[in-house]
């Protein structure tokens, strides 16, 4: 019985929070936009089912458990469930949603997943619209890194450290989402800036402008880096993920 009510509480809290995030425009921090409609409909159906479970009584169950004391205990449990739902849903709603950070990027390893950019494998043609995902794909898949050298780029993302040379190289990082935040893959473009921690911080959102060149670092395993001409702190983007 207790396990059933715990499941009801968690279901209702999750469904209410999902609808709330959608209404406030924060659902994109958790779910890919193409799944918004399905997610919201599922959450609404879940709320209806949970509410129905409170009001619909099962006679056979009542008969089996009969007795005034038993019925009183069930009423107490029902009140407790309602209170727990209010607090659980309230906590999810009141606590501000947050984007994934460099800690998650370190756990999942930047550029370790398979991300397909918009025809960026060779970085040929017009690269003016390339973002972090496209350049990260180009640097990883290109067979002609020399052909990328000298190409300019202006990229926006948050700062995560290169694990091989965290003092001199950082990544302009974004999370690539295919379904939801649970499967988000960190993608990033390495930036060579000695002692970068003196001017920017981990997880700080920055806009970096510069040109690509062979990596001067003797520790980093990144063959090509963006050598910055300007690094500017910016506000976190309203849509921080890439798709």
pLDDT tens-digit readout, 206-239: 999 999 999 999 999 999 999 999 999 999 998 9
Q: What is the chain's mean pLDDT, rounded?
A: 83
Nearest in space to 33 (alpha carbons), one of 240, 209, 201, 210:
240
Judging by DSSP bridges, how do beta strands 185-192 and 205-214 pair with one another? Answer: unpaired
Q: Give this prediction's pTM.
A: 0.74
pLDDT of residue 57: 54
Q: With 80 as the cut, is the pLDDT of residue 98 above it?
A: no
pLDDT tens-digit readout, 106-138: 999 999 876 655 544 455 567 888 999 999 999
How many CA atoms are closer than 13 Å to the CA of 74, on its beta-carbon side? 15
CB 13 within 8 A of CB 86: no
pLDDT tens-digit readout, 77-91: 666 655 665 565 555
Q: What percent of the chain has pLDDT over 70?
A: 74
Q: What percentage of the chain's residues is helix, strand, coil (to nearest 5)?
A: 45, 20, 35
Rounded-to-integer distance, Cα 52 and Cα 68, Å:
23
pLDDT of residue 87: 60
């Amino acid at each position: 019985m207790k396990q059933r009510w715990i499941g009801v509480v968690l279901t209702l809290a999750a469904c209410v929070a999902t609808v709330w995030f959608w209404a406030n425009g924060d659902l994109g921090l958790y779910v890919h936009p193409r799944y918004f409609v399905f997610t919201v409909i599922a959450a609404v159906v879940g709320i209806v089912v949970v509410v129905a479970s409170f009001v619909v009584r099962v006679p056979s169950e009542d008969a089996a458990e009969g007795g005034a004391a038993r019925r009183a205990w069930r009423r107490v449990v029902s009140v407790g469930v309602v209170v727990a739902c209010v607090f659980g849903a309230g906590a999810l709603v009141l606590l501000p949603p947050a984007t994934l950070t460099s800690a998650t990027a370190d756990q999942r390893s930047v550029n370790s997943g398979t991300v397909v950019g918009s025809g960026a494998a060779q970085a040929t043609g017009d690269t003016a619209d390339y973002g972090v995902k496209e350049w990260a794909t180009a640097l990883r898949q290109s067979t002609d890194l020399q052909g990328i050298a000298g190409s300019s780029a202006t990229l926006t993302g948050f700062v995560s450290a290169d694990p091989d040379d965290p003092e001199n190289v950082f990544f302009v990082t974004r999370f690539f989402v295919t379904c939801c935040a649970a499967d988000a893959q960190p993608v990033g473009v390495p930036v060579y800036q000695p002692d970068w921690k003196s001017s920017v911080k981990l997880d700080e959102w920055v806009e970096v402008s510069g040109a690509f060149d062979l990596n001067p670092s003797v520790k980093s395993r990144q063959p090509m880096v963006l050598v910055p001409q300007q690094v500017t702190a910016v506000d976190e983007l309203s849509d921080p993920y890439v798709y």
